[in-house]
Structure 1
Amino acid sequence: MPPFNQYATVNLTQHEREKLTQDMIAKASNLVSRAFPDIQTTIMGASLNKEQVQQFRSLVECWTSSGKWVKMDGPVKVMPHFQDPLYAKCDRKYKGEGQRDAVRYVWQSTCEPVKNNMDHSVNRDRWCKVLNGRHILVVGDLVQYQLHEIFLNTFRDGPTVCFGELNCREHTLCNEPYQETHLKYLRNDRLSNNQHTNINQGYPTVDIIEMPFAKPSFGRGYPIFILNRSPVHETDEEFMKGLIETMKTIRKNNPNTLVIYRSSSIGHPFCDDAEGPIEGLTDSDYKVLPFGWSETKRRNLIAKTIIEGAGGVYVDLGALTDLRPDGHVGGQDCLRYCIPGPLDSWMHILYQVFLALDGKIPLEK
């Protein structure tokens, strides 16, 4: 992808970009309310009532948007990394004593239980009880592949076979004494509804990958979808239309699928020079970003409107890692992160999301 994206709005003023954002949110809200008139205050695949849904969404937003990265004085509990060796690059290069600085920062929200759970504790047994045999399908771009990696780090005690970054065989997350639960990853950058892989007359493209996932059989086999749609390949209107069509297909095939959507993160140019987290980003900071990352914040808000309007769960994990220019794989890759590192906090947030959906923690902020 070229560094200067044709869909970028960097020529607009801050006021114009803010107005565009509000206009696109309103347009998305109108479209999704017509497509899903009956489930906007519902989370399909969960047993929360209307009031609880509102409390839950408010709490999840607080966990991700209201907080800061805090550097711990001593060693931080981290998950061992078993899978792709690329993401262990930072540990291999590190020559200092103790842990890398990028590992020692922990996300602290202003809301419980994320506020005081500073050791990033995730109880695998408790999570397996909540999953209760509901298999998970993870679909999205290459960063979504990293989410698949940290799921495996959390639930497994050793490596497992994976066939590259296009798709992965089914992995076991939970087994006896709990209901057996599996996870599978498929790469589909646009979450497109195609039923077959486009091999482009024998010369498949590598810039945009769209592995089929929207078949009825996938929904029957995987009651939980964790999705992300890469936000920089199209116009706002095309992004809206595509995501709504995807959700319509999912709801048509299997109405009670629990859909969790991960917001997209920006990359950080010159990430090798970063020394730690930053406190925040202004619109001027976004406007200078290449590769269409300047539009990520608006596209995420559009996605939030659509996903929640279609009875899903929107989790703004990108809000955490947008503040982490450090800890990236580095070199030519200033989008993906080394593991362990900032992505460990993603898993902590998702753990709390699953507990809250199952009524295991209070929903009041």
Structure 2
Amino acid sequence: MKQSYIQSIPKLIFVLSIIFLSIYFLRPPSAEENERIEQALREKKLKNHLQNEKVAQQQQHDELSRKLNKMITDKRTKDEQEAIDITRKIIAEQLKFRFYDSIPGSSIVHNAMRLKMFRQQLECMTSRGDWVFDPTPRPIIKHKQDPLYGRCDREFVQQQSWSPDMPDNFTVEEKWNFTRESVKYVWKTPTECPMPKFDVSQACSMFSGKSFLLVGDILHFQLHELFLDYFSDDSVQCYGEISCKEHVLCDVDPNNNWKTSKMMFVRNDIISLTKNASNVNKILEYPWLMKIRHFNVIIINKGHHWQNDVSFRKGLIDLMNYLRKGFPDILIIYKATTLGHLNCQAAKKPLSSPPNATELESLPYHWGEIHRQNLIAREIVETAGGVFLDLESVMITRVDGHIGARDCLRWCIPGPMDVWLDFLFHIMKELR
């Protein structure tokens, strides 16, 4: 009987638990409990309302931003098309030398189809590519010229615990381990317009007998430095960023059938036809016209020294008329102006996409108007039988790799602008 009593205890406890729980849950809540429940419900309702209101406000803000960006995009597109239409009209009236099937100074002569294919290929390479991170070890250009362009490497060294002087016997892989991230991106193009790569020997072969005159502002001087870093083993003395003496890029080599190739830079911020040195409103114009006869390729650029469209257009048309009249066989390459980037010091990688119309419209220093003037330049240069190199599209997302310290226009060497040489090598290969 005692055993039966013991066995019944769990059942009794279970029954009592059911009774107590029923009493607890079935009894009406107290006034305090009711108030707590109602307060919790009110807070939850308010929280949901605020969340829904926040979502609605964000959706409204996004919709307004989309509408504003579309309005600005439409306006910019209209302004750009009007600028192109005006330029074409003025070209017909004022540009005395027009070429629709040839590029003077090249092998494209009276061949409209080949000219069209060349320009389409170059445009595909410059406007349809993307910057892609590539960790594959590869040779990197070593900067040996103006210390300004080595700022990124110096800052990188300060952040590390190793010496900046890498022994020459380091392998490519070992040097790669001490290379900045901004150098490890490559410009990836579609399969129909693959990005070419050349070594120094191939470049010297394509440059054989070519003499390059570079005329532009201090941003154009970057190209001068890049040429020297690529072709020279040592540093070369220049007169600051104003001008530089003539340099040999590739010396004569009978074994490879190379002729000497050379280069020279002259600073003229607006590539004017001045015959006297001028420095007005911080616009430097050094005479360069008397030097042209010693060169057969001229690479020019109107940089960030702002002119309105009327002055910009007139100056470039006058220049093309002068060059084509006096030097009909010279090859003209116009390097598009690149945009500056705000807050470049903090950038660790390229932008995921180019700035939209609203962002471009808000940029300082007339940066937002650079694209329209590049379109104007393309119309004039190509009609005059020159080559327009669209580096704006290539560099617009490269917020990283800039010199920094308030200079968000120029890039360090090595860096994003290394790809400029690949485009120029391609141009010289196709036109030789």
TM range, smaller chain: 0.7 to 0.9
Q: What do residues 133-174 of structure 1 show as CA deviations (whole Å, max 9, x unaligned)?
A: 121000111110001110111111211111110100101101
3-state DSSP class of the match of 2:262?
A: strand
> Residue 255 of structure 1 aligns to which amino acid in structure 2?
P
CA distance in 2, matches of 1:126, 1:206: 43
Partner of 2:289: 214
Say which structure is richer in helix.
Answer: 2
**Mapped contact 2:220–2:303 kept (Cα < 8 A):** no
CA distance in 2, matches of 1:143, 1:69: 21
Partner of 1:299: 373
Matched, 1:343 2:343: no
> Residue 20 of structure 1 aligns to which amino acid in structure 2?
D
Partner of 2:52: none
233-242 vs 29-38, greater mean Cα deviation: 29-38
Partner of 2:303: 230
> Residue 46 of structure 1 aligns to which amino acid in structure 2?
S
CA distance in 1, matches of 2:115, 2:408: 36
Gaps of 5+ in 2: 1-68, 161-176
Matched, 1:93 2:152: no
3-state DSSP class of the match of 2:410?
A: strand
CA distance in 2, matches of 1:43, 1:193: 22
Partner of 2:190: 110
Partner of 2:84: 25
CA distance in 1, matches of 2:92, 2:190: 32
**Mapped contact 1:76–1:104 kept (Cα < 8 A):** no
1:169 to 226, 242, 245: 245
Aligned Cα root-mean-square deviation (Å): 1.8
- 1:73 Cα shift? 2.0
Q: What do residues 65-104 of structure 1 show as CA deviations (whole Å, max 9, x unaligned)?
A: 0010010123342111110011111111113563211011
**Mapped contact 1:328–1:335 kept (Cα < 8 A):** yes
Partner of 1:44: 104
Partner of 1:159: 235
CA distance in 2, matches of 1:56, 1:36: 24
Larger Rg computed on CA atoms: 2
The change in CA–CA distance for 1:37 and 1:172 in structure 2 (over 3 A counts) is closer
3-state DSSP class of the match of 2:244?
A: coil
CA distance in 2, matches of 1:288, 1:75: 39
Instruction: Give the 5 Å matches for 1:4-153.
Output: 13-34=72-93, 35-36=95-96, 38-48=98-108, 49-94=111-156, 95-96=159-160, 98-111=178-191, 114-115=194-195, 121-153=197-229
Q: What do residues 27-57 of structure 1 show as CA deviations (whole Å, max 9, x unaligned)?
A: 1122223414541332111121221111001
- 1:179 Cα shift? 1.0
258-267 vs 176-185, greater mean Cα deviation: 176-185
3-state DSSP class of the match of 2:393?
A: helix
2:261 to 181, 200, 204: 181
3-state DSSP class of the match of 2:234?
A: coil
**Mapped contact 1:214–1:250 kept (Cα < 8 A):** no
- 1:196 Cα shift? 1.2
- 1:281 Cα shift? 2.3
> Residue 398 of structure 2 aligns to which amino acid in structure 1?
R
**Mapped contact 2:106–2:331 kept (Cα < 8 A):** yes
CA distance in 1, matches of 2:415, 2:190: 21
Partner of 2:348: 275
Q: What do residues 284-329 of structure 1 show as CA deviations (whole Å, max 9, x unaligned)?
A: 1211211110101111111001100111000001211111000000
- 1:206 Cα shift? 6.5
- 1:208 Cα shift? 0.8
Aligned length, in residue pairs: 337
Matched, 1:318 2:378: no
Partner of 1:201: none
**Mapped contact 1:75–1:98 kept (Cα < 8 A):** no
14-23 vs 86-95, greater mean Cα deviation: 14-23
> Residue 127 of structure 1 aligns to which amino acid in structure 2?
A
3-state DSSP class of the match of 2:259?
A: coil
Partner of 2:326: 253
**Mapped contact 1:189–1:209 kept (Cα < 8 A):** yes
Partner of 2:32: none
- 1:130 Cα shift? 2.3
**Mapped contact 2:336–2:388 kept (Cα < 8 A):** yes
Partner of 2:50: none
> Residue 274 of structure 1 aligns to which amino acid in structure 2?
A
206-215 vs 322-331, greater mean Cα deviation: 206-215
Task: State the percentage of identical aligned residues.
Answer: 35
TM-score (norm 1): 0.88
**Mapped contact 1:231–1:239 kept (Cα < 8 A):** no
36-45 vs 299-308, greater mean Cα deviation: 36-45
The change in CA–CA distance for 1:246 and 1:165 in structure 2 (over 3 A counts) is same
CA distance in 1, matches of 2:90, 2:304: 18
**Mapped contact 1:81–1:153 kept (Cα < 8 A):** yes
CA distance in 2, matches of 1:37, 1:183: 26
**Mapped contact 2:98–2:385 kept (Cα < 8 A):** no
Partner of 1:7: none
Partner of 1:4: none
Q: What do residues 157-194 of structure 1 show as CA deviations (whole Å, max 9, x unaligned)?
A: 21111111010010110112021121000111111001
